[in-house]
């Protein structure tokens, strides 16, 4: 895995922190997302990891991990972490039960009232099908067994449902973000070809296949995402038109 020195240092700190909190209960830690797919950008990417535990976690352990993530995330890169048990992987179902999810999207809530935020989570997470698929196929083990020996093969129908839910999320909540433009392209590329695409490679695949009037927006978003991550001006009706096009193609 190629990664900047600061990323490697942050992963080392994160690994040590998880081991300190969980001890022998931590059986694996895996990098997925942009780092594993070879398109990490220091200006725009976050660090995606999947932790695997031997057993269910106690509330005390979960809150200790949240405290750890609040301290390590954004130092310097944002971290998104999913924790799932061996039993939940072995008895895989979709949407999958899980032990813990942390992302910067809920930082304010985690900081204000971590116990209430923990209690507010649903029992299942549909995003895990996509994360597990990437981790099994392209993931990098920081500790533990090789990814293909720990993660199940995700059924095509489960992956499809996970990605279509992500498309709905992009439509409803990602207005004005690069993700809200590029993620639909990645979803389209993956569902159309059956191959796993990163945000950048999915956009490159989609560009020549998009209607001509939508290409400039995607080109600007891709240039920003792979560059300095500067904000771009996007008309929300144009972004919604992009999602309409993708949705029509992937749901036909």
| pLDDT for the residue 174 | 79
Is the pLDDT reported for residue 230 higher than 90? no
Is the pLDDT reported for residue 76 higher than 80? yes
Average pLDDT over residues 125-141: 97
| pLDDT for the residue 161 | 98
Q: Which two structure tokens, joined as six digits, stand for 1? A: 């895995």
Is the pLDDT reported for residue 56 higher than 80? yes
| pLDDT for the residue 247 | 96
| pLDDT for the residue 214 | 97
| pLDDT for the residue 155 | 97
| pLDDT for the residue 126 | 97
Average pLDDT over residues 179-186: 95
Is the pLDDT reported for residue 1 higher than 90? no
| pLDDT for the residue 98 | 98
| pLDDT for the residue 176 | 76
Average pLDDT over residues 114-132: 97
Percent of the chain with pLDDT over 90: 91
- What are the residues whose beta carbons fall under 8 Å from the beta carbon of 103, sequence distance 6 or more? 78, 80, 81
Confidence of residue 173 (pLDDT cuts 50, 70, 90): confident
Query: What pTM was estimated for this model as a whole?
Result: 0.94
CA atoms 52, 56, 57, 62: torsion sign: positive
pLDDT tens readout for residues 5-26:
999 999 999 999 999 999 999 9
| pLDDT for the residue 177 | 85
Per domain, the residue ranges of the chain are: 5-153, 157-250
| pLDDT for the residue 229 | 86
- φ, ψ of residue 209 to 5 degrees: the values are -100, -10
Q: Long-range contacts for 199-202 (Cβ within 8 Å, ≥24 apart)?
A: 199/34, 199/39, 199/225, 200/39, 200/41, 200/225, 200/226, 201/37, 201/39
- Tell me the C-alpha distance between 13 and 16, whole Å: 5
Q: Are 48 and 34 in contact (CB under 8 A)?
A: yes
CATH code of the domain made up of 5-153: 3.30.460
- Tell me the C-alpha distance between 248 and 236, whole Å: 18
């Amino acid at each position: 895995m190629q990664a900047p020195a600061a990323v490697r240092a942050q992963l080392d700190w994160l690994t040590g922190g998880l081991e300190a909190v969980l001890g022998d209960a931590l059986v694996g830690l895996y990098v997925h997302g942009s780092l594993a797919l070879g398109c990490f950008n220091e200006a725009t990417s976050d660090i995606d990891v999947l932790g695997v535990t031997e057993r269910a976690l106690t509330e005390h352990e979960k809150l200790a991990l949240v405290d750890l993530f609040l301290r390590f995330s954004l130092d310097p890169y944002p971290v998104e972490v999913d924790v799932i048990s061996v039993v939940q992987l072995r008895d895989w179902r979709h949407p999958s039960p899980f032990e813990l999810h942390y992302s910067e999207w809920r930082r304010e809530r985690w900081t204000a009232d971590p116990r209430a935020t923990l209690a507010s989570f649903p029992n299942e997470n549909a995003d895990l099908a996509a994360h597990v698929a990437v981790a099994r196929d392209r993931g990098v083990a920081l500790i533990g067994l090789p990814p293909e020996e720990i993660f199940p093969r995700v059924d095509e129908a489960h992956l499809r449902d996970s990605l279509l839910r992500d498309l709905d999320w992009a439509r409803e909540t990602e207005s004005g973000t690069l993700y809200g433009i590029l993620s639909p392209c990645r979803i389209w590329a993956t569902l159309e070809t059956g191959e796993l695409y990163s945000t950048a490679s999915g956009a490159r695949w989609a560009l020549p296949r998009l209607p001509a009037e939508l290409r400039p927006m995607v080109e600007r978003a891709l240039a920003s995402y792979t560059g300095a991550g500067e904000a771009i001006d996007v008309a929300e009706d144009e972004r919604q038109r992009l999602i309409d096009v993708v949705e029509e193609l992937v749901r036909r």
